[in-house]
Amino acid sequence: MKIKSILLGMSLVFSLVACGPKDADIQEEIASQTVNFPQVSVTVKDGVATISGICKDDALKQNVEGIVKGTKGVKSVVNNCEIPAPDPVVEAPVEINPDSVLNTSVNEVVKAYNGVSFTVVNGVVTLTGNIKREQLPSLIQSVQELKPNKVENKLTIK
């Protein structure tokens, strides 16, 4: 009787394992669900799904993993999807106007501010004289827009 019970139990386990989805069927099901992600591929071996390819961001990577995990027959998921590094930001070189251009340009700006004078040496604009507090920000901004190397504020605020 014990032998019959053992044989019956083994045959039941074997039939349950044999009735489970095959790796090829699981992989086919996953492929149909991830057709909108052409840069991602999934392989299945012994119920373990391995995701590989390129995902544009972490949200897409997690989305694909969720789809794969939700597929019947998948026991576990290995997500090897790579997220490419962002393109490096190339900053434009800082353009500094020559002293002759700065002299002419700063002179035009400073004309609007009584009591303010300036000098330009090696791209450094030095502002001297007296100015009202409310005029200072616009003067400094106007001079900085002329692209000097530096603006030195030696103004006295009235």
Dump pLDDT digits (tens) for 118-141.
999 999 999 999 999 999 999 999
**Does any domain span residue 108?**
yes
Average pLDDT, rounded, for the chain: 86
Q: 145 and 113, same structural domain?
A: yes
Q: 151 and 120, same structural domain?
A: yes
Torsion angle of the four alpha carbons 19, 29, 69, 75, in this order, in degrees rounded to the nearest 10: 30
pTM exceeds 0.85, yes or no: no
End-to-end Cα separation, the chain, in angstroms: 109
Which CATH number belongs to the domain containing residue 73 in this structure?
3.30.1340.30
Give the pLDDT confidence of 69-89 residue by residue, as tens digits: 999 999 999 999 999 988 888
Q: 132 and 76, same structural domain?
A: no
Asked whether the predicted pLDDT for residue 150 surpasses 80, the reply is yes
- Taking a C-beta distance cutoff of 8 angstroms, is the pair 141, 113 a contact? no
How many domains does one find in the chain?
2
133: which 2 tokens?
Answer: 């507090």
Read off the pLDDT band of 18 (50, 70, 90).
low
Q: Which domain holds residue 52?
A: 21-86
DSSP 8-class letter at 85: P
Give residue for tokens 């030195």: 152
Task: Give percent above pLDDT 90 in the chain.
Answer: 59
Q: So what's the pLDDT on residue 136?
A: 92
Q: Which of 62, 86, 110 is the last residue of a domain?
A: 86
Q: 137 and 80, same structural domain?
A: no
Task: List, in sequence order, every residue forming a beta bridge with 41; answer none if it has no partner.
Answer: 52
Report the 10 Å Cβ neighbour count for 16: 9
Q: 25 and 82, same structural domain?
A: yes
Name residues whose C-beta falls within 8 Å of residue 105's C-beta, 6 or more positions apart in sequence. Answer: 97, 146
Whole-number Å distance between alpha carbons of 60 and 40: 10
Give the pLDDT confidence of 22-74 residue by residue, as tens digits: 888 988 998 899 888 889 999 999 999 999 999 899 999 999 999 999 999 99
